[in-house]
Structures are given as structure tokens and as C-alpha cells.
Structure 1
Amino acid sequence: MKTSDFYFNLPEELIAQTPLKDRAASRLLCLDKETGQTHHESFRDLLKHLKVGDCLVINDTRVLPARLFGRRSSGAAVEFLLLKRVEGDVWQTLVKPGKKARPGDTFEFGDGSLRAVVEGLSEEGTRLVRFAYEGIFEEVLDRLGTMPLPPYIRETLEDSERYQTVYSNKYGSAAAPTAGLHFDDALLDAIEKKGIEIARITLHVGLGTFRPVKAESLQDHVMHAEYFEIGPEAVQKIQRAKQGGGRVIAVGTTSVRTLESAAGRHETLQACSGWTDIFIYPGYAFKVVDGLVTNFHLPESTLIMLVSALAGRDNVLAAYKEAVSQRYRFFSFGDAMLIL
């Protein structure tokens, strides 16, 4: 199977630049993964598709305000983008301009309360950077950093919380798990009151999620690794749903990758944590996930490949063609799809 098999034509004006004022007011394209049939609803209608005994799995990661603007010891301006924590206060970091950022170079941010030194080079031209500060690192970032929006969003985000899910609580992502942006507290409460369990898992999204697939053959593509955690409580809720005949419905491709990675480590789903570079594309046999709430993804991306693995490539591309014709909003701040 080739990367070009997942191309579709997307008019640029359909790429959503700003979030809706009402999180749950987006449109919802419902896709039957067996028949390929579609129909159109509002995201709040998700509730009527969930049944007592189902388990909805959400990713509670929180996006770091990981873009920092500072200066070298020479006074020259510099931009840092934190990609992932390596250990302690050492981060894999994209530095611009980066060619002159050599081991031993020092930098300051804001009023000097955050300092950094390059400790070495890491993969794909990034740097290993050690930070020094007083207090709690996340609080320092909240004060000095800005939100690292995807490259296709050119508008300024007025409220940074709109690039966070309402249930986010574990800092670590360089990008939001955007399918979760559609949920508000009222909808989540209604879901639980109906008798649907909500399981929280964590996958810290890396910027590699935006990297294009350069290999012509899918088998030659190497995924970026991301850190995940799934705890005993989430496992119990998922197992209860399975044993009771309910469905496990993942919110977002990150939740899918977490569940399938955890299930792939043992004969049964167990609590675990670690790094995953799982690449899910058509032909993959799902171990846990029955359904998916997701946004509309980039052409030829690993995300549309994952969705196609669950619902079938032809079904997905036909649904995307319909979404374009119906003027759905695409990508991070766009509309949603429900696959059951």
C-alpha cells in the first residue's frame, strides 16, 4: 500500500483557523464502518449513539506552552520549541536558529528566571537542553511560554485554553489531542449519567504527528515515539465494557494508539506505561478499539491511515469527499467524525 493511496483534494479555505465559541456545536459526520453509509448531525448528538455499557476512552494529556522566545548570552534572539522531556530538566528541543547552538551555549528567557544550556545534539538536528529555574517548571512555562499551534493554523489564538481539552491535567504534549476539544463539561456529565463509563488514559502528543509521510510505501515509514500511560482503573472500565458486551470507543487517534500499544504488550490489556511508535494502517487487527471519535485529518498522513484501518480506506475517502462537498471544517479546530 502506498502513501499516495490516502490523498484527497482539500480546498485551503476549509482548514479551520479558529475554534468555535461553543465547543460542542461542531458538526458530526457519522460513518458506519461496515456499510460505509454516512449521515450528518451535531456533535451533541454523540450522546444518542452511546449505549449503556459502552466505555468512552479519553486522553487527559495537557499541552505545554512549549514555544519560548529568549536570547543568547551574546544578546541575539532565539526561539526554543520543547519537543519532549528526556529526563528531569533535560528536554529534546528545536532551536531556531539552530546551527550555532552548540554544546555549552547558554540562553535566558523572560526576566532571566529561566535559563538553559545546550548539553548535546539529538535526533534530526534537535538539541538536548538542560533548564535551570526556581519553583515549578510548568508554572514557569505558563508565564513565559506560548502555545505551539499546528503549522496550518495562521490565526492568533485569543484564549490558549481553547487548545486544551476540558479534562486535560497531565502536562507533556507538544500538540493537543484535538478530537477531545469538542467535549464540554455538560456533555461529559450527560454521558456519565446515561451509564457510559469514561476511562482516562494518557499519551503525550509529539510534533511528529504533523510530519509528512515521505516514504512511498507504508512499510518503509518509521513512526515517532510518544510516551503513554494506562492505569488500573482505566483497564478495569475497559474490561467491564468488553465483558458486558459494550463497545470501547476511543476519543482521538492518540487514544487508539495508547490502547492498541498497551494491548500489544501482553495477551490481555494491562496497566502499563512506556514509549510507543505503533503505526496503524489498513490490515491492522484491532485488539481493543471498536469505535472512534476523531477530527478530519491531513491527506497522506498517518492519522488518516489509522482511521482507514478501522473503517476501510474506500469508506473513509468517500466520507472525506462528502465532508468536502458539505463544507465541513477540517483539522485541529474543525468538525468531527464518529466511526461505529
Structure 2
Amino acid sequence: MSTSPDPHQLRIQDFHYDLPAERIAPEPLPDRASSKLLVSRQGVIEDKSFRDLPAELPADSLLIFNDTRVVRARLLAQRPTGGVVELFCLEPVAPHRAIEPALQQTAACTWRCLVGNGRRWKSGPVTLAFSFAGQPATLTAVRQAHEASGESLIDFSWEPASLPFAEVLRAAGHLPLPPYLHRSDTAADAVRYQTVYAAHEGAVAAPTAGLHFTPEVLAELAARGMASGYVTLHVGAGTFQPVKAETMAGHPMHAEPIIVQASLLRQLLGHRPRPVIAVGTTSLRTLESLYWLGAALASQPAEAGAELRVDQWQPYAPLAPGQAEITPEAALQALLAHLEASGSAAIEASTQLLIAPGYRFRLVQGLITNFHQPESTLLLLVSALLGPGWRKVYDHALGNGYRFLSYGDSSLLLP
């Protein structure tokens, strides 16, 4: 694993590579598990099939999956004159800010949205007619204020008012495929842009490392004695946010909500020091965020009702003179003690954690992930795990026919 004197000063252009457009997978393969698998084990690279994954993992591994489910967050509404306005629901604002209760809201709600073709939407409502259970239904949207970023607060209301907003999105919305696919969603995407274990609605992008898993692969993992556990990180649109600053000091990481059950914390504690393998960058960020949440609680227990969050640069702050670093075990125990004191069954927090070269991993020993865009924070994460060897991995993938990005092939990275 790599070291760096100051991650703030990392230049994003140092994480560039040439990705030809024809190497970006435009569609999923007919069979999830037929994708290629690049295995990088201590710098040695092998070409495998994803079906080989159970045999390639370290013995007695614990795999951690992100069980978020993608919502149909793109709404195509019409102005009174007939023009189309696209509303991409990013995050709830009122009456709930937490994703899961917001999706159960009936009658009306307010969300922060990206607005497409919004310059022609001067004022007044736009509407979207749809059907629910064979009956006509209508969604109405009113923009509170236009923002230069293209984001706006949108007041939604709908009939029948008894429908939860989640049902409105399922019936009226479209899957928010990654923008680089340059196409509309299809019936196939409705199945293939979800993992087979997706359980909790709230993401606007899929945790794509999990798209390769089938029930058969999961059964083979269990037959080989591999344990599995689940966390929830609702992937936000910020996962596609390009790094525009010259150095990482100028790049604000997006915040994403995480939910982790007490049972998973106990599972992690009981599994140590055996290997923990994160399925995807979102699972990895969640696991490492647990360490920083627990370390903060171990140093200073939170007041009742206080928001739990991990800031972007929290891991890179130097320890105070004489201060000992919190161990992973102590961090997990602090999280469990917090839950017991608060009478809660799960940690609910937000994370802006930036994992970049110079980061030292506390809970994760390996990663299953797809191949990421040049100059992205996801590529920084891979570089933090592999060090300069990330270039060898990506050069090999480019030279050996691997498919890139969300619907592309997979890798197992064991530093």
C-alpha cells in the first residue's frame, strides 16, 4: 500500500490514462458472471473469469456487499407548451432528509434535483402523466429557485395522494444510467442495473462491482466457507462528479448516507484478523468510514441525537502529541457501545471520506471492483490500495481486451 506526504497536494492529472471510447461497455453481458476477472495478487496479474472468483479469494474471507437498490430517479415532465424538462432527483429536502423515509412520503415532498432543459422552464408547474395499477395518475413539479449549478429545489405533488413517492418513481421514472453511456434505459437495464441482492431503495447509481454476482456464484462462495455481510451506502450522483481542481485540496467530496446494522459490527469484530474483502468502492468506503466513526466516538462519545459523519480529510489529521491511535477493534467496540447507549439497532451516518494515496487501510484487506474513469476519486482509491502498481493493472486491462466502467469487467485486487 502506498504512502504520500500530503494527499491534499495530489495532482489529479497524475492519475490520467487514455481510455478509448470503444473500451467503455455500452451494454451488460447476457450472463452476469461471464465477465472477465483480472486478479492482481501482490503485484502478480492473472486473467480469469468472474466465475473463478470463489477459488481466487483468500481462505476464510469475509465479503462485504452494498445492498442499496437504485431508484428510478429520472423524471421526464412536460411544460404547458409541450417541451420536456428532465428532473434528476438527487436528495430529499423536506419533510424528510433521510432517503428511506423520504421515499415513503405521500402526497407531496421537496427534493434537490438536477434540471435538464431548464432554461426554457421560466415559471409555473410541469407535469408528468403516468399510470398506477391501471389507473391514471399525475405528478406535478414546481421549481422554487434556479441555481447556477443546474440544481434546484423542486416541490413535487401527485395524485393519487396516497401513493408513496417510491411508487411514483417506480411508475413514472427512468433508471439514471451513467451519463457516459449516452443512451436511455431499457427493460434489460431494469434488471441488470441492480445487484441480485439489492434490498434498500435509495441509490441513484448502482454499486457496479456487485453486478457480476449471480445466485450460483454466491452459493459457491458459501460452499467454500466464505462469509458474507451487508452494509448500505446509497450511492449519490456525486460518484460521477469529475475532479476539476488541479490538486485534491480543491475538490469537495460528496456526502453519502450509510446504514450499518449492529450485527455487521459484531461480525467484523468476530472475524478479525482474517481477511475482509470489500465488494466495490462503496462497500470499502463504508467499512473504512466505520473505523473513523468509531475512532471519533472512542475519543469523545457523541451526545444523544448528534449527527455521525466522516469528513473528507479526517484520516489525514495528525495525532496530538502523546495520543495513541485507536485500534480497529476499539473503534468497532465504540460503535457498538454507542448503539447500546442510544437504543439503536444500526449506525446511521454520512461520509465524505476521500481515500487517496497516503491513506492507510484499517478494516479492508482486498477489493473487488470494476475499472474506473481516468482522473476520478475512484481511481485514487484504487491507487491508495495498490500504490503505483495501479498503472500496471490498468495497462494490462487495456492491453488484454477488458471492458471498462459500469457494465464492464471486474478485478480482484489483493495488495
What percent of counterpart residues are identical? 43
Report the equivalent of 1:297.
372
Distance in 1 between the 2:291 and 2:121 partners? Answer: 41
1:130 matched to 2:155:
yes
Distance in 2 between the 1:12 and 1:46 partners? Answer: 28
Distance in 2 between the 1:11 and 1:74 partners? Answer: 41
Report the equivalent of 2:49.
42
Does the 8 Å contact 1:197/1:237 carry over to 2? Answer: no
Report the equivalent of 2:267.
237
Q: Supply the RMSD in Å over aligned alpha carbons.
A: 1.9
Distance in 2 between the 1:93 and 1:210 partners? Answer: 15
After superposition, the Cα gap between the structure-2 partners of 1:221 and 1:65, relative to the gap in structure 1 and judged at 3 Å, is same
Give the Å deviation of 1:44. Answer: 1.1
Give the Å deviation of 1:212. Answer: 1.2
1:318 matched to 2:327:
no
Distance in 2 between the 1:37 and 1:30 partners? Answer: 8
> 2:90 pairs with 83, 88, 93, which one?
83
1:119 matched to 2:144:
yes
Distance in 2 between the 1:55 and 1:114 partners? Answer: 44
Distance in 2 between the 1:79 and 1:308 partners? Answer: 36
After superposition, the Cα gap between the structure-2 partners of 1:287 and 1:15, relative to the gap in structure 1 and judged at 3 Å, is same
Q: Which AA in structure 1 matches 2:366?
A: G
Deviations 1:212-247 (A, max 9, x none): 1111112221111111111112112222221xx311
Does the 8 Å contact 1:229/1:274 carry over to 2? Answer: yes
Give the Å deviation of 1:113. Answer: 2.1
> 1:260 pairs with 288, 293, 298, which one?
288
Distance in 2 between the 1:231 and 1:101 partners? Answer: 43
Q: Which AA in structure 2 matches 1:265?
A: L
Deviations 1:251-302 (A, max 9, x none): 1111111111121012313352222111110000111111100000001110
Report the equivalent of 2:20.
11
Distance in 2 between the 1:120 and 1:15 partners? Answer: 36
TM-score for the superposition, normalised by structure 1: 0.93
Give the Å deviation of 1:75. Answer: 4.4
Report the equivalent of 1:179.
209
Give the Å deviation of 1:101. Answer: 5.0
Report the equivalent of 1:228.
258
Q: For 2:143, what is the secondary structure of its paired residue? A: strand
1:96 matched to 2:116:
yes
| Long gaps (5+) in structure 2 | 1-9, 97-101, 103-108, 131-136, 296-330, 336-345
* Aligned positions of 1:204-219 closer than 5 A: 204-219=234-249
Q: Which AA in structure 2 matches 1:129?
A: I
Deviations 1:39-63 (A, max 9, x none): 1111111101234532101011111
Deviates more, 1:293-302 or 1:272-281: 272-281
> 2:180 pairs with 140, 152, 161, which one?
152
